[in-house]
C-alpha cells in the first residue's frame, strides 16, 4: 500500500504519531505497543547530497518506499557522529531541523552523552570524505578505527549490539579479519556489504540453487577497488548458491587492459561470456549510455579469480557509468548462459539504498543479518590481494587465507523487485534537502 500523505500513514501505523509502529514494516507482524523500538546511533564520515550517509540515513529516519509500499523503518535514529564537514555538509542543518543530537565523539554518540551504552544498534558508514590513499591507491577510510571505538564502548559497558558496516570491512585484510573475529568473539551481529545485489534483475532471473557453475563474469562501470567490490558482491550473491556452496578463493590476479585481453586469448577468462553479459545490458537498459556492438568493447581492468572448487571467474570494469552491473555464467548441462543486469532505479543508485536499509533494519529488529557477513569478508580479502597484485605488476597472488566457505542464505525478501519505480520515476523531482524517508517526496507529487 502507498499512503497518500503523512497523516494517513500515522493513522494506519500501529503505534500512531508517537512512534512509527512495527506493523508498517514489511518484515514484521504487529508488535505490542510496549515493545521499545531499537535506538540507533549513526556514525559516519560525512553527510552531503548522495553520500552513503545521505542514502542510508534517510530511510532509517522516516517511512520509505520498498517494493512500492511505504514502509516503517521500525527503528529510531537517536544520535549522530560526523567525522568531516565539507562545504556542502548537511549534518548541521539536518541536526538542527530534525532535533537530532550531534556528538563530538563516537563514544558519546553510543552513550547519548551518558556513561552506559544507550543504543540498540550502530550504523557505521565509513564511505566518502577527504581521506588519504596508501601506496596501493586505496582510500584509507577509517572503518576499522570507528569499529574499534565502538567495540571499546561495548567492552567498557559490558553490552554489545548489532553493527552494520557499509561496503567492505576495511582496505586491509588483517584489519577486516580482526573486525570479523571480534564480532564472533563478543557475540554481536555484524552485517556489511553492497546495496547492488538487492536491485531488480532484468531479466528477472533466479540462480538455480545447487546448479554447477562452469565459469562466471561480473561487470561494473566504475573505478578500481571501490567498484570492483560491488561487482564481487554481485558475483557472490549468485554463485554462493551453487552446488557444494561457497568454498573460498585460492588465487587472485588484477590485470589492466592489454594483459587482460591477452589472458582472454590464453583462455583464462571467457570473452564470449563477457559479450553475453554486455549484450544483456544493451538489450534491457537504456539508462547507461551503452552503444553496440559489444564485440568492440574491451574492459579497462579485471580481477581473475580461481575458487577452491575449481570455478574460474572474472570481475571486469567497463567504464562510463556508475550504474553498470552485469552478470553471466555458464551452468553445467545448460546450453544458454544465465545472464542478467541489475537496475538500480531512477536517480542513480539513491533509491536502491532503500532496499539495503530494509535489510539493515531487519538485523536491528531481529538480531539476525539476512545474509552472511562472510560474503563481504571474502570480497574484502579478494580486494586486498588484487590491489597488491596490481601494485606488483599484475602478479598472481595465492590466497590460502581466503579458502573458507560459508552457507548461503535466501535473501529474496530483502530485494527491491521494481515496484518502487512505479511510484518514483525518472521524472519525479528530487528532494531539495536531506529528508527523512519518502513521505515528503510523495506529498510533493500528490501520491
pLDDT of residue 333: 94
CATH number for 217: 3.30.360
Q: Residue 246: phi, psi to the nearest 5? A: -70, 135
Same domain, 319 and 176: no
Residues 6+ apart with CB under 8 A from 240: 246, 375, 406, 408
> Is residue 80 reached through a cis peptide bond, with omega within 30 degrees of 0 on the bond before it?
no
Same domain, 241 and 280: yes
208 shares its domain with 60:
no
**One domain, residues 208 and 336:** yes
Average pLDDT, the chain: 92
Whole-number Å distance between alpha carbons of 138 and 167: 14
- Residue 334: inside a domain: yes
Domain end residue (candidates: 287, 308, 342): 342
Residue 355 lies in a domain: no
Q: State whether 159 and 275 are in the same domain.
A: no
Q: Are residues 220 and 313 located together in one domain of the fold?
A: yes
Shared domain check, 178 and 128: yes
In a domain, 267, yes or no: yes
Does 422 reside within a domain? yes
Answer with the one of 327, 342, 357 that is the final residue of a domain.
342
Are 23 and 171 in the same domain?
Answer: yes
Same domain, 164 and 297: no
DSSP letter, residue 341: E
State the pTM of this model: 0.92
User: Per residue, what are the HEC states of 114-153?
Assistant: CCCCCCCEEEEECCCCCCCECCCCCECCCHHHHHHHHHHH
User: Which pLDDT score, from 0 to 100, does residue 351 have?
Assistant: 79
23, 108: one domain: yes
The pLDDT value given to residue 334? 95
Looking at the structure, do residues 157 and 288 belong to the same domain, yes or no?
Answer: no
Residue 411 lies in a domain: no
Of 294, 309, 342, the domain-final residue:
342
Q: What is the CATH number of the domain that holds 129?
A: 3.40.50.720
The answer to whether position 130 is within a domain reads yes
Q: Is the pLDDT of residue 208 over 70?
A: yes
- In this prediction, residue 407 carries a pLDDT of 97
Mean pLDDT of 108-135: 98
- Using the predicted structure, report yes or no on whether residue 109 has a pLDDT greater than 90: yes
* Placement of cell 566457505 in the chain: 405
pLDDT in tens, 152-179: 999 999 999 999 999 999 999 999 999 9
Per the structure, the complete domain to which residue 132 belongs is given by 6-193+417-444
CA 123 vs CA 36, 45, 110: distances in Å: 19, 11, 11
pLDDT over 70 (residue 260):
yes
107 domain residue, yes or no = yes
What's the whole-number mean pLDDT along residues 347-358? 89
What is the average pLDDT across 194-205?
97
Same domain for 120 and 207, yes or no, is no
Domain annotation covers residue 363? no
% of the chain with per-residue pLDDT over 90: 88
Number of structural domains (the chain) is 2
Asked if the model's pLDDT at residue 292 lies above 90, the reply is no
d(CA 442, CA 447): 5
Amino acid at each position: 500500500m502507498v499512503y497518500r500523505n503523512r497523516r494517513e500513514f500515522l493513522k494506519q501505523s500501529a503505534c500512531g504519531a508517537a512512534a512509527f509502529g512495527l506493523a508498517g514494516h514489511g518484515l514484521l507482524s504487529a508488535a505490542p505497543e510496549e515493545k521499545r523500538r531499537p535506538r540507533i546511533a549513526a556514525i559516519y564520515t560525512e553527510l552531503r547530497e548522495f553520500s552513503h550517509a545521505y542514502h542510508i540515513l534517510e530511510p532509517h529516519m522516516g517511512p520509505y518506499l520498498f517494493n512500492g509500499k511505504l514502509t516503517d523503518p521500525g527503528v529510531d535514529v537517536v544520535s549522530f557522529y560526523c567525522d568531516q564537514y565539507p562545504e556542502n555538509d548537511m549534518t548541521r542543518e539536518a541536526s538542527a531541523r530534525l532535533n537530532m543530537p550531534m556528538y563530538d565523539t563516537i563514544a558519546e554518540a553510543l552513550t547519548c552523552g551518558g556513561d552506559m551504552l544507550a543504543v540498540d544498534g550502530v550504523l557505521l558508514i565509513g564511505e566518502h570524505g577527504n581521506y588519504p590513499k596508501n601506496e596501493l591507491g586505496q582510500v584509507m577510510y577509517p572503518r576499522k578505527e570507528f569499529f574499534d571505538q565502538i567495540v571499546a564502548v561495548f567492552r567498557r559497558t559490558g553490552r554489545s549490539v548489532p553493527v552494520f558496516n557499509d561496503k567492505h570491512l576495511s582496505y586491509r585484510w588483517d584489519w577486516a579479519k580482526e573486525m570479523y573475529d571480534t564480532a564472533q568473539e563478543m557475540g554481536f551481529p555484524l552485517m556489511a556489504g553492497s546495496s547492488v545485489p538487492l536491485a531488480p534483475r532484468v531479466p528477472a532471473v533466479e540462480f538455480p540453487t545447487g546448479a554447477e557453475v562452469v565459469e562466471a563474469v561480473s561487470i561494473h562501470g566504475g573505478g578500481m577497488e571501490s567498484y570492483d567490490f560491488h561487482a564481487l558482491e554481485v558475483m557472490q550473491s549468485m554463485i554462493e548458491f551453487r552446488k557444494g556452496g561457497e568454498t573460498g578463493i585460492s588465487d587472485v590476479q588484477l590485470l589492466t587492459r592489454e594483459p587482460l585481453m591477452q589472458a582472454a586469448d590464453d583462455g583464462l577468462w571467457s570473452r564470449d561470456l563477457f559479450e553475453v553479459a554486455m549484450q544483456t545490458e544493451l538489450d534491457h537498459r537504456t539508462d547507461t549510455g551503452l552503444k553496440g556492438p559489444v564485440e568492440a568493447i574491451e574492459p579497462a581492468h579485471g580481477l581473475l579469480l580461481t575458487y577452491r572448487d575449481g570455478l574460474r571467474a572474472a570481475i571486469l570494469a567497463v567504464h562510463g557509468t556508475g550504474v553498470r552491473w552485469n552478470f553471466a555464467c555458464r551452468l553445467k548441462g545448460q546450453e544458454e548462459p544465465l545472464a542478467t543486469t541489475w537496475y538500480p532505479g531512477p536517480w542513480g543508485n539513491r533509491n536502491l539504498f532503500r532496499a539495503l536499509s530494509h535489510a539493515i533494519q531487519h538485523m536491528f529488529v531481529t538480531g539476525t543479518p539476512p545474509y552472511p557477513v562472510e560474503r563481504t569478508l571474502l570480497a574484502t580479502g579478494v580486494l586486498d590481494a588484487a590491489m597488491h597484485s596490481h601494485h606488483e605488476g599484475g602478479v598472481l597472488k595465492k590466497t590460502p587465507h581466503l579458502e573458507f566457505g560459508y552457507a548461503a542464505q535466501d535473501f529474496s525478501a530483502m530485494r527491491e523487485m521494481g515496484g518502487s519505480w512505479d511510484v518514483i520515476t525518472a521524472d519525479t523531482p528530487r528532494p531539495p534537502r536531506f529528508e527523512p524517508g519518502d513521505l515528503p517526496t510523495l506529498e510533493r507529487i500528490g501520491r
